[in-house]
Amino acid sequence: MSSLNKSGKKHRFGKAWMHEHVNDPYVKEAQRRGFRSRAAFKLIELADQDRLLHPGMTVVDLGSAPGSWCQVVRERLGGQAKIIAIDLLPMDGMNGVEFIQGDFAAEEGLQALRKALKGEPTDLVLSDMAPNLSGVEAADQARSIALAELALDFAVQHLRSGGDFAVKLFQGAGSDAFRQQAAVHFDKVYMRKPKASRGRSREIYVVGKGFHGTA
């Protein structure tokens, strides 16, 4: 991809982002520990803060590529977990993880995920899905909320009683309403901003603890 704009000048943002990325302590630590991306540390913080991971769990990871969240689950639980992951993008194989390459937002992908569960409920639904950004804030915000709602709907249909849920969305229009929507189904709901989430990013995570179905 060319780094020149229409006036022939280099994009300063691209250079600044690359400089920040290569000097990011989470990027360096991810490389040191063999994680596929710095996003691993977001799940580590969420899991520690809200006690999300327990031996023997069935975990569904929505929007899993490149696989760093699956790595965290495997590292914490070893072989004592059933992990099913889905993403539209390819993901390199990982021992102990059943990966489905498909569109979670499409019926075909959803059916493949249900087939992998074999009718069994899940203990934890994770979603780090994000929309392809258009640069139009209102549109990107709406897409983010729509993906979070799809993840919540899946969780409501497939979590066992007492199960947990963690989903990424962008803070802005609709995020408070989404939190209230999630609160209908869980004993406790928290809004989290992990330290590994860059300060300028609008991403936040909604964590639902203690699934109890609908009120």
Give the CATH fold of the 36-211 domain: Rossmann fold (3.40.50)
pLDDT of residue 214: 67
Boundaries of every domain in the chain: 1-33, 36-211
Mean confidence (pLDDT) of the chain = 88
Residue 75 has pLDDT above 60, yes or no: yes
pLDDT of residue 201: 82
pLDDT of residue 14: 61
Active site residues: 168
- Predicted confidence (pLDDT) per residue in 27-38, tens digit: 998 898 888 999
Which one, of 25, 103, 99, 24, lies nearest residue 66 by Cα?
Answer: 99
- Predicted confidence (pLDDT) per residue in 60-69, tens digit: 999 999 999 9
User: For residue 48, what pLDDT band results from cuts at 50, 70 and 90?
Assistant: very high
- Give dist(CA 188, CA 186) in Å, integer: 5
Burial 130-139 (b: 16+ CB within 10 A, else e): bbeeeeeeee
User: For residue 130, what pLDDT band results from cuts at 50, 70 and 90?
Assistant: confident
Residue 9 has pLDDT above 50, yes or no: no
To the nearest whole percent, how much of the chain has pLDDT over 90? 73
- Give dist(CA 71, CA 145) in Å, integer: 26
